[in-house]
Amino acid sequence: MSDGIETTWRPRSAWAGIAPVGRHGRPGGEPGLTLTLREEFGLATLIAVKGRTDALRQVMDARFGWSLPDPGGANLTGERGLVWSGPDQWLALFEERREMAGLGQALEGLAAVTDQSDARAIVRVSGPDARAFLAKGLAIDLHPRAFQPGQVAVTALAHMGAQVWQRDAVPTYDLAVARSSTGSVWSWMSHAAAEFGYDVRNAAP
């Protein structure tokens, strides 16, 4: 049994030691964008069992009140909801990790559920220059006529795998990357954001 075993291990942010909180880049004036380091979220991939997508749709609606997004869509309310990530595949997002309890059992026989909370790192990109900033690294059209709130793209940021969804028209985007790539991602971000001036914050607890 693990009861009573003491450990010195402590939870560590995906961005710890990589992304320094504070004002950076172009000095003076309002920052062009804010980078908010997300923490404590729950994240799982759902892959529908062949032929069970409709049943999965019903259970997600009945249990969570969430609707499965169409390809390229993100159905979010606040910090919770579903984001499309491939044919018959979605990301389930929860504000807190403990909300995920029971997800696997609820979807047994309908979807393969894999906890990704520790596998991905998420940074929220928001501000008047957020679009110009991301456009430097994403080879997709971010113009509002092509990409709007409620849309998602699985693509690459500076050649590193990334999933990006738009939350609002500020614009605000959430960018999910492999946790192991945060050092390289931040190296690109800090250089790409410098010209706009940027604030780095930790997500409110």
Partner 1 sequence: MRIRCPHCGPRDNGEFSYLGDAAPIRPDGMEAPPAAMHDYVYLRDNPAGPHRELWYHGAGCRSWLVVDRDTRTHEITGVSSARDVALSRRTGEVA
Q: Give the binding site for partner 1 (CB under 8 A).
A: 71-72, 85-87, 89, 139-141, 153-156, 159, 161
CA dist., res. 18 & res. 187, Å (int): 9
As given in the structure block, the two tokens for residue 161 are 């795998």
Shortest CB 144 distance to partner 1, Å: 15
As given in the structure block, the two tokens for residue 171 are 């614009």
Shortest CB 127 distance to partner 1, Å: 25
Q: Which is nearer to partner 1, 49 or 156 (CB)?
A: 156
The secondary structure of 87-133, three-state, reads CCEEEEEECCHHHHCCHHHHCCCCEEEEECCCCEEEEEEECCCHHHH
Read out DSSP for 146-183?
Answer: TS-TTBEEEEEETTEEEEEEEEETTTEEEEEEEGGGHH
Q: Which is nearer to partner 1, 51 or 205 (CB)?
A: 51
Q: Which is nearer to partner 1, 132 or 160 (CB)?
A: 160
Shortest CB 121 distance to partner 1, Å: 18
Q: Which is nearer to partner 1, 20 or 161 (CB)?
A: 161
Shortest CB 87 distance to partner 1, Å: 6
